[in-house]
Chain A
Amino acid sequence: KAGVTQTPRYLIKTRGQQVTLSCSPISGHRSVSWYQQTPGQGLQFLFEYFSETQRNKGNFPGRFSGRQFSNSRSEMNVSTLELGDSALYLCASSAPGQDYEQYFGPGTRLTVT
């Protein structure tokens, strides 16, 4: 069974630009969560989607948004990038009823200059 895939793996953007990251979950997994990971703040929850609906949301500004498609693939968007948005963005999927067992992708390393 293929794992969680994320594209792109690396990205360099300029302040003020916007970015879209993509995540394909494990086949059969309908829940997709997004996280931001930085050395100072650790792993921080952005949001979770289940069956195309946002089920949970973390404490991030409205510049961070996401969506999920009918095939469970998910995208997250960050508008008006700031230097502090530089981070590793991780996507994780889980099987129905097993939210505690998250399968993570390799992440997208975003650098904002």
Chain B
Amino acid sequence: QKEVEQDPGPLSVPEGAIVSLNCTYSNSAFQYFMWYRQYSRKGPELLMYTYSSGNKEDGRFTAQVDKSSKYISLFIRDSQPSDSATYLCAMSNYQLIWGAGTKLIIKP
């Protein structure tokens, strides 16, 4: 079993929909929880990070961490075609552990 599990998708939704992306993990020692976005032919870029539990909002993006369930989520409101990318979760105690990435497609 991998330390971090993430459905690779693809996940296809119509423009304007609310998107929910999720990761589960097994290591309770993780303290930092990150979401990265990767466009085709580019390196990943950090979208948001959360320390420990709770929610964090940045514009149309909301990150949630539920440490009791070992589950993290990224919500995208009013999704746009420009949001089409691969979204990777990552977690850290002393070393970053990455999810497989979910390919998201927003259909105009």
Chain A interfacial positions (CB closer than 8 Å to B) = 4, 33, 42-45, 48, 56, 90, 92, 99-107
A102 with B46: CB separation less than 8 A: yes
Chain B interfacial positions (CB closer than 8 Å to A) = 8, 32, 34, 36, 41-46, 49, 88, 90, 92, 95-96, 98-101
The interface residues of chain A lying within 8 Å CB-to-CB of B92 are 99-100
Knowing A43-B101, A100-B34 are in contact, say whether A106-B96 is a contact too (CB < 8 A).
no
A90 with B34: CB separation less than 8 A: no
For A45, A92, A100, A107, which residue has the most chain B Cβ atoms within 10 angstroms?
A: A100
A56 with B95: CB separation less than 8 A: yes
The A/B interface has a contact count, at CB < 8 Å, of 48
Q: Which of A42, A56, A92, A102 contacts B99 (CB 8 A)?
A: A42
The interface residues of chain A lying within 8 Å CB-to-CB of B98 are 42-45
Whole-angstrom distance between the Cβ of B59 and the nearest chain A Cβ: 18
Q: List 9 A-B contacts (CB under 8 A).
A: A43-B44, A43-B88, A43-B101, A92-B43, A99-B96, A100-B49, A100-B92, A102-B46, A103-B45
Q: Which of A44, A101, A107 contacts B43 (CB 8 A)?
A: A107
A104 with B44: CB separation less than 8 A: yes
B96 with A42: CB separation less than 8 A: no
